[in-house]
Amino acid sequence: AIALLNSYSGIAGMTTGFVLQNNLLIVAGSLVGASGIILTQIMCKAMNRSLANVLFGGLQAQAAAAAGKDEGYTKVKSTSAEEVAAVLDAATSVIFVPGYGMAVAQAQHKVRELATLLQKKGCNVRYAIHPVAGRMPGHMNILLAEADVPYEQLYELDRINDDFKNTAVVIVRGANDGCNPAATRDPASPIAGMPVLAVWDARTVIVVKRSLSAGYSGIKNELFQMDNSLMLFADAKKALEDVIAELKAL
């Protein structure tokens, strides 16, 4: 929706250019309008949804999310920073899955600090990037680059999805719909067919989230109550700080 509005601003600028007979406005507005439309199309494809569903279905989803909040989960296993540190200390491979929660908490530097600590212990560290993680394609890449995360450690969904089953620990920070197994297991789900990261295939999944609230789709995420999932309820930055402190103490 944001990308579409950006394209409209470009079209408005282009139209103004025609009215004022200003070639610069016409060219700049055309570029902004075209790029916004292309970006909108890319994001819709990544979510396997039509533009109408994104615009109008999203509004209904937000209302459902506000109404349902944390309801519907029966066997969630919560964990602590101390327990997470112990799991990571024994891990030989870790994949970080960043989401909007990491962006809100500005936790990318703590992610990098934790990754560096794990690498010093001989752990293989990588980052799985969903096509629409955050608010637009490339959002997570920019934040991680800001924290000096090596580009070669960033993997797109298609490159890393088959490797989750060979991974000891996956740490999901703020991501929700992009890691929801309903997309592949429930044909009636609003996100059915949407490309998702198969994090549940890993030996252990640690989800760092402030609550069990739904994502953009407004539906439950069964990942939260899978047998191999642990929930660390906290702000992403504070949670990572605590895990780092516990890991250094081991």
Residue numbers annotated as active site: 177
Rounded Cα–Cα distance for residues 51 and 100 (Å) = 21
Give the closest residue to 223 by CA, choosing from 73, 1, 11, 55.
73
Rounded Cα–Cα distance for residues 41 and 36 (Å) = 9
Rounded Cα–Cα distance for residues 112 and 150 (Å) = 10
Residue 169, amino acid: V
Give the closest residue to 104 by CA, choosing from 236, 241, 244.
236
Structure tokens of 224? 């939260």
Give the closest residue to 44 by CA, choosing from 33, 60, 55.
55
Contacts of 44 by beta carbon, 8 Å cutoff, 6+ apart: 50, 51, 54
